Chain A
Amino acid sequence: MTSIGKVSESSKVKKYSAFMDFFRRLIKEKPLGTFGAIVVIILLICSVFANVIAPYSPVESNLKDKLEGPSIDHWLGTDNLGRDMLSRIIYGGRVSLYVGLGASLVNVLVATLLGLLSGYLGGWFDVLVQRFVDVALSIPPLVILITLVGVLGAGLVQLILIMGINGGIQWARVVRSGVMAIRSNVYMDAAQAIGSDTWHMIVRHVFPNIMPMMVIIFSTSIAGNIMAEAGLSFLGLGLPPPTPTWGGMLSAEGRRFMYEAWWLAIFPGLVLTIVIYGVNMWGDAVRDLLDPRLRGGVGRYSGALKRERVKQKTS
């Protein structure tokens, strides 16, 4: 008992230690991951405050200034309708961010729900869910996305749900194997022996142990979701114009003018590449810092989590 008292005392000194620990290690050990985090933060700020930051309207055409090269007035030039490219890219980031974060969040929710239930309950439910996972894994990602967007239409909500649920079903297998590994631990037998019911076991014992996995799934899916949205928009199946999207700016309609206006071809793709690169680095860093198999020696993060939990219990 004394050791628990000691731990809770030390964690009182460092408040939010689990979070702080994570970010300290990110900056100290993962320079590329830190760069990724900065890219994500810039994207976040630009998207949320797009109406303040963007110098022009992203949709209003101004034919007088059409197809102007980069200049002081229009840093990244203008498109065939005279719209400022910089403003369109900033607003386009909004769509990428919403879809990237939203779909990844749905990924995690669906994967956790399905993986938890099918991994923990097993039986016919597991068999059924696994067949759905097989189906979701067998259809090429872009093909199923194109089909579903065709079926449900291309709104922001539809895109988030389509990518979120489809990806979530695929991730469910990862969560499931994690849950099955946790289930075979001795403390699960102990919990069962003292008469815990299923609900209690899932919420108090399994769920906290798959939390790191959920964070990893979230951060590694963001890049893929942003890329998928851009691909759909590029094919003309994403959000309909005039809503600016990075993929849509590169699509067939814009390509006709690129031969005379190179800046139309460069900038949307360059920004997309930097964002994908940053988000990937961020996701890799999160995985390296949280995945116990990649972490050398004693788990520092789970140690911090445990301290946090003990603190909650004792306070």
Chain B
Amino acid sequence: MGNYIIRRILLLIPTFLLLTILVFMLIRLMPGSVIELMVMQHSHEQAGQQQIDVEAIRRMVGLDKPILTQYWEWLSGLIRGDMGKSLWTQKNVTTDVIARLPVTFELGILAFIIAQIIAFPIGILSAIRQDSIGDYFARSFAILAVAIPSFWLATMVMVFPSIWWGWSPPERYIPITENLGLNLQQFLIPATILGFGMAGLTVRMLRTTMLDVLRQDYVRTAWAKGLRERVVLVRHVLKNAAIPVVTIISGQIGVVIGGAVIMEQIFNIPGMGRLFVDAIQTRDYPYITGMNAFFSTVGLITILLTDLSYAWLDPRIRYK
């Protein structure tokens, strides 16, 4: 197992390097470059009183150096945990991103937990009581949860309670340090909407794989030797049905991040998603590259942990 883990971690290094190259070079291809935007803004401010020196701006934000030098400076900064400075405000990108991180993290974790709380009981029940009314409802739920776009659901939650009862979700963001209860109340609605959407896929996968395992000989043996239902389900069925379900759940880490971008936009939550969309609109390269690198590092670690959990769940993978 130790060897396996080390080999997997070493494999991450070339992938991470390739990723930084792709992210960095792609952003530099942006057609409406940040320089043009800056020139436009300068000419607004100064109304043509003064010749705008494009080269000076380029030098000021450090885009005049050869691209390889820029890449090297960025990468070495990134490894030291420094994403650079904003091209517009000169703010330190890392501190800005880190400041927003807990907000998105809280939203994501809540959504993730809610998704599993919804998915597991429904998925398990629907498999062990196959073709019952409960199963029928569970399957309809799963199909609906996958088909309803989260942003539509969120829009309706914003609009209809306000029309019917004059109630709407809080407009102002309440930090967790200010008031824990109100903060949770604020996060609960977007997190539930996100969790609901994710639960659908998990329910479907859990049901199919469990049905598969329930028909295995060793499960019949477990029943035959008189084990209680809970023991059969947890020790024999769930553990053997886990791998495809873990695949689906780990794939949802990326969905959570994407969903958080949308929810932060709708519910006015100042998290990383908002920061990211703003950075795209102002072409603020260090933010875009830094956050892309950050999000994909999260993704790479997720993939690593998923693979390790396969090896833990199924010894055959470990010894191959």
Contacts and interface: CB of A to CB of B under 8 A. Distances in A.
Interface of A: 131-132, 134-135, 137-144, 146-148, 150-153, 227, 230-231, 234-235, 237, 247, 250, 252, 255, 258-259, 262, 265-266, 268-269, 272-274, 276-277, 280-281
A147 B152 contact: no
6 contacts: A140-B253, A150-B281, A230-B151, A235-B262, A269-B148, A269-B149
B158 A255 contact: yes
A277 B143 contact: yes
Given A143-B257, A258-B155, A272-B149, 12 more contacts: A135-B15, A135-B19, A138-B300, A140-B299, A142-B259, A143-B258, A231-B151, A258-B158, A265-B159, A268-B152, A273-B152, A276-B149
Interface residues of B, number: 52
Q: Which 9 A-B pairs have the closest CB atoms?
A: A142-B258, A269-B152, A138-B299, A140-B254, A277-B147, A140-B257, A150-B280, A139-B296, A276-B147
Contact of A237 (B144, B151, B280): B280
Given A235-B277, A259-B159, A269-B149, A147 B27 contact: yes
Contacts of A280: 143, 146-147
Interface string B252-289: 01110111011001000000000011001101000010
Given A151-B29, A262-B160, A138 B265 contact: no
A235 B258 CA distance: 11
B303 interface: yes
Nearest to A230: B149
A258 B161 CA distance: 12
Given A143-B258, A234-B262, A273-B149, A137 B303 contact: yes
B283 A150 contact: yes
A110 to B, nearest CB: 16
A132 B21 CA distance: 11
B296 A141 contact: no
A137 B299 contact: yes
B156 interface: yes
Q: Give the dominant DSSP class at A's interface.
A: helix
Contacts of B281: 150
Given A151-B26, A227-B149, A146 B296 contact: no
A142 B148 contact: no
A141 B151 contact: no
B72 interface: no
B147 A273 contact: yes
A139 B14 contact: no
A268 B149 CA distance: 11
B60 interface: no
B30 interface: yes
B303 A150 contact: no
B288 A147 contact: yes
Given A138-B19, A151-B27, A280-B143, A255 B155 contact: yes
Contact of B295 (A143, A227, A255, A277): A143
B258 A135 contact: no
Contacts of B27: 147, 151
A269 B15 contact: no
Nearest to A146: B280
Contacts of B162: 259
B107 to A, nearest CB: 14
Interface in B288-309: 288, 291-292, 295-297, 299-300, 302-303
> Counting chain B CB atoms within 10 Å of each CB, which of A137, A152, A230, A255 scores highest?
A137
